[in-house]
């Protein structure tokens, strides 16, 4: 087993740390690359409903679709509309 003081381990870590790219998506410079990732993360983070109002609107929309389509035989889905405990756990874990 290798330890942190092991020269082979240190060489391995140095090789990884020393292999950083200087350009991402034609953007160069540490600060510019950091800003690029920050902007992309912010856009992704803000694309997911997270406020109580947004969640309520989403819930109401889904209930409406189920009532007007699935429960009225107007559904064009080929999937079964059953929700398992696993489905609920996966959804809850996303929040």
| Residue 20 pLDDT | 67
Domain that holds residue 52: 7-75
Task: State the pLDDT at residue 34.
Answer: 86
Question: Does some domain include residue 91?
Answer: no
* Domain assignment present for 83: no
Residue 95 lies in a domain: no
Is residue 15 assigned to a domain?
A: yes
Residue 88 within a domain: no
Contact 57, 63 (CB under 8 A): no
Q: Structure pTM?
A: 0.37
56-65 confidence digits (pLDDT tens): 888 888 888 8
How many domains does one find in the chain? 1
Say if residue 43's pLDDT is above 80: yes
Cα separation of 13 and 7, whole Å? 10
The answer to the question of residue 48 being in a domain is yes
- Please list, in sequence order, all residues whose beta carbon lies within 8 angstroms of the beta carbon of residue 7, skipping any fewer than 6 positions away: none
């Amino acid at each position: 087993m290798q330890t942190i003081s092991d020269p082979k381990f240190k060489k391995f870590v140095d090789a990884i740390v020393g292999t950083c790219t200087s350009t991402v998506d034609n953007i160069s410079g540490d600060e510019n690359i950091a800003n690029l990732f920050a902007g992309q993360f912010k856009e992704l983070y803000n694309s997911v409903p997270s406020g109580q109002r947004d969640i309520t609107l989403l819930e109401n929309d889904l209930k409406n679709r189920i009532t007007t389509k699935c429960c009225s035989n107007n559904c064009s889905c080929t999937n079964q509309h059953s929700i398992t405990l696993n489905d609920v756990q996966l959804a809850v874990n996303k929040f």
